[in-house]
Amino acid sequence: MSLFKRLLNPNYKSDEKAKKSDRGKYYPEEKLPIDEKFTYNFNKNGGKFLYCENVEEVLEAFDNILLENDWYERDVFCINDQLASRFDGFNLSFSKKQSAAFFLSTCESLVANNGSILLCSNQIKEKKLSELPFNFVIFATTSQLVDTISEGLRIIKNQSGNHIPTNITTIQDFETNKEKDFMTYGSSTKNLYLLLLEDL
């Protein structure tokens, strides 16, 4: 992905400054790539982003999250059995208890224009976000990046056929001390880690 190559390139900032000085005052704004836009907005919302190139890096990052939060030998709320088996071996107790230390899940899409995570009843059944644990660990892939929520909804509709899932929602607020405005009224704040696996 272009963003992650840029992160590893030390000359990127000086290249960007040179490009900007060549552009005129009234030249149209350059459109950000979808991956860069998502990363910027997700971090601005307070989410914790862990980019992984392969499954080994995903497991290592997951281990670091457990270590950082002291979540070993704790209950994990996980509805997805495939995900539970993928992260088996960390001495966790996978259950459906809402009092668990954290919620482990996949998502439908990663929405770039507002840095949110799109979920539906495939991940959270009929539960409200407020009924789920405060801490989230979301496993996603780079192919799940979409520009807008409507693109994400279109993908859900196309994959579901006649059985469109209910309880479709987004999580966008990841900081507890952030000031609320009328756009975030009623939304649940979650401490969220995103494990993003490169699959493109």
pLDDT in tens, the chain (200 residues): 555 555 555 555 555 555 555 666 676 667 889 999 999 999 999 999 999 999 999 999 999 999 999 999 999 999 999 999 999 989 999 988 878 999 999 999 999 999 999 999 999 999 999 999 999 999 999 999 999 999 999 999 999 888 888 899 999 988 765 555 544 445 678 999 999 999 87
Closest of 179, 200, 198 to residue 57, by C-alpha = 198
Backbone angles phi, psi at 58, to 5 degrees: -60, -50
Q: Is 80 part of any domain?
A: yes
pLDDT at residue 178, as a whole number: 53
Which whole-number Å values give the CA distances from 89 to 72, 85, 145, in the listed order?
Answer: 11, 8, 29
In one letter, which amino acid is 38? F
Q: Is 2 part of any domain?
A: no
Q: How far apart are CA 113 and CA 99, in angstroms?
A: 32
Q: Is 8 part of any domain?
A: no
Q: Is 5 part of any domain?
A: no
Q: Is 11 part of any domain?
A: no
pLDDT at residue 163, as a whole number: 85
Place of tokens 């880690």: 193
Predicted structure pTM score: 0.81
Backbone angles phi, psi at 66, to 5 degrees: -60, -40
Q: Is 14 part of any domain?
A: no
pLDDT at residue 188, as a whole number: 75
pLDDT at residue 53, as a whole number: 95
pLDDT at residue 137, as a whole number: 97
Q: What tokens appear for 51 in the block?
A: 């980019």
Backbone angles phi, psi at 140, to 5 degrees: -145, 170
The CATH number of residue 193's host domain is 3.40.50.10420
Q: Is 21 part of any domain?
A: no
Backbone angles phi, psi at 48, to 5 degrees: -105, 120
Q: Could you tell me the strand order of the sheet in which 191-197 lies?
A: 48-52, 191-197, 135-141, 102-105, 75-77, 93-95
pLDDT at residue 182, as a whole number: 46
- Number of independent structural domains in the chain: 1
Q: How far apart are CA 118 and CA 196, in angstroms?
A: 14
Q: Is 45 part of any domain?
A: yes
Closest of 108, 190, 114 to residue 141, by C-alpha = 108
pLDDT at residue 12, as a whole number: 55
pLDDT at residue 5, as a whole number: 56
Domain that holds residue 61: 32-175+189-197
pLDDT at residue 101, as a whole number: 95
